[in-house]
């Protein structure tokens, strides 16, 4: 039995959640995939997969092998790239997780550019606003917007994310423009469910002194686009990043609220499992994104919101 090939087949079965889909991805037959899995289980003297006509799941032994096998295959790919000129080009499946709005607005236009540079890397991009466990859920890389970094994984800063308060002109004509942070408490606000401080909005004055205002939210949402749409419709004040609302502010569709106060910046991070050797495909993606976002973020280059 070719143990390395067997591990590759096993990992693909888990990723694709089925033997037939794995066979298609590996350009082989389902019978070959079944044989490799059976031989691997016989060699290890343990069952790796619970299989039925409707569902497949990992056993505890399978879960342990899956995580190690992914690392082994990444290390092998990197070793091949180092020693063989023919395989210097990164290749293989790269699974990425990113927040929905940022993924659509800022990352999606970059994928064709990346593909032109690295045609042998196949991308699988999942846009999910909640914080995923990149190891348990099988991602190679996650893009996160956070001020807290990552305590369990390696994180590289890609850009600074500026947040601002804004509202539609129609809302401000009806309810007035707040002159101080305390006046926010008298206004309708739209909250972001995944925000670290929920309905408490931190604001910095010109001297850098912070005060936190507990706002009254008439709506909560776990998606920035929904908050933006509600604000554009005159529903209330939002606290959202310039990559989402900067163009609206520049066009006058939304107006800055309390422009003399700043919301603390947070970071756009590339987060990946802590490993001694980083696979070539992950490394080139991180370098690609870091190069694109370097300096002033592209969403702010058209002018300050």
**For the segment 53-69, what is each residue's pLDDT rounded down to a tens digit?**
677 888 889 888 998 88
**Average per-residue pLDDT in the chain?**
87
Q: Distance (Å, rounded) from C-alpha 94 to C-alpha 62?
A: 21
Is it the case that residue 247 has pLDDT exceeding 90? yes
Q: Look up the CATH number of domain 161-265.
A: 3.40.190.290
What number is the average pLDDT over the span 224-247? 95
What number is the average pLDDT over the span 231-238? 97
Question: Residue 252 burial (CB < 10 Å; 0-12/13-18/19+)?
Answer: exposed
Q: What residue spans define the domains of the chain?
A: 3-84, 92-160+267-300, 161-265
CATH topology match: 92-160+267-300 vs 161-265 = yes
Q: So what's the pLDDT on residue 85?
A: 38
> Which tokens belong to 222?
């776990």
User: Pick the residue with more confidence: 301 or 44?
Assistant: 44
CATH of 3-84, one of 1.20.1050.10, 2.60.120.430, 1.40.20.10, 1.10.10.10: 1.10.10.10
The strand pair at 49-51 and 56-58 is best described as antiparallel
**For the segment 172-225, what is each residue's pLDDT rounded down to a tens digit?**
999 999 999 999 999 999 999 887 767 889 999 988 899 999 999 999 998 999
Is it the case that residue 254 has pLDDT exceeding 50? yes
DSSP 94-154: EEEEE-HHHIIIIIGGGHHHHHHH-TTEEEEEEE-SSPP-TTTTT-SEEEEEESS--SSSE
Q: So what's the pLDDT on residue 83?
A: 59
**Confidence grade of residue 305 (pLDDT, cut at 50, 70, 90):** low
**For the segment 77-115, what is each residue's pLDDT rounded down to a tens digit?**
666 655 543 445 788 899 999 999 999 999 999 999 999
**For the segment 2-37, what is each residue's pLDDT rounded down to a tens digit?**
888 989 998 999 988 888 888 888 888 889 889 989
**Fold for the domain defined by 92-160+267-300:** D-Maltodextrin-Binding Protein; domain 2 (3.40.190)
Q: Distance (Å, rounded) from C-alpha 52 to C-alpha 61?
A: 18
Q: So what's the pLDDT on residue 21?
A: 87
Q: So what's the pLDDT on residue 87?
A: 44
């Amino acid at each position: 039995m070719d143990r390395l090939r067997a591990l590759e087949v096993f990992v693909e079965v888990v990723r694709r959640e089925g033997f037939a889909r794995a066979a298609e991805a590996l350009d082989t037959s389902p019978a070959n995939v079944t044989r490799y899995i059976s031989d691997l289980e016989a060699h290890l003297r343990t069952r790796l997969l619970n299989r039925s006509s409707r569902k497949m799941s990992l056993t505890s032994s399978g879960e342990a092998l899956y995580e190690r096998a992914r690392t082994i295959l990444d290390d092998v790919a990197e070793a091949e790239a180092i020693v063989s000129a023919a395989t210097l080009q990164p290749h293989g499946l790269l699974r990425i997780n990113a927040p929905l709005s940022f993924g659509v607005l800022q990352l999606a236009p970059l994928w064709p550019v990346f593909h032109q540079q690295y045609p042998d890397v196949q991308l699988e991009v999942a846009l999910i606003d909640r914080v995923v466990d990149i190891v348990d859920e099988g991602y190679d890389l996650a893009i996160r917007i956070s001020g807290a970094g990552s305590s369990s994984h390696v994180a590289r800063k890609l850009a600074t994310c500026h947040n601002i308060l804004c509202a539609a002109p129609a809302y401000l004509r009806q309810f007035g423009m707040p002159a101080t942070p305390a006046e926010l408490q008298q206004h309708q606000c739209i909250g972001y469910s995944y925000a670290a401080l929920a309905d408490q909005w931190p604001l910095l004055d010109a001297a850098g002194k912070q005060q936190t205002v507990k706002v009254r939210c008439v709506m909560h949402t776990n998606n920035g686009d929904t908050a933006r749409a509600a604000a554009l419709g005159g529903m209330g004040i939002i606290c959202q990043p310039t990559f989402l609302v900067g163009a609206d502010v520049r066009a006058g569709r939304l107006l800055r609220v309390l422009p003399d106060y700043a919301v603390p910046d947070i970071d756009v991070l590339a987060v990946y499992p802590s490993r001694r050797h980083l696979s070539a495909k992950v490394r080139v993606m991180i370098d690609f994104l870091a190069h694109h976002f370097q300096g002033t973020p592209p969403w702010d280059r058209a002018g300050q919101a």
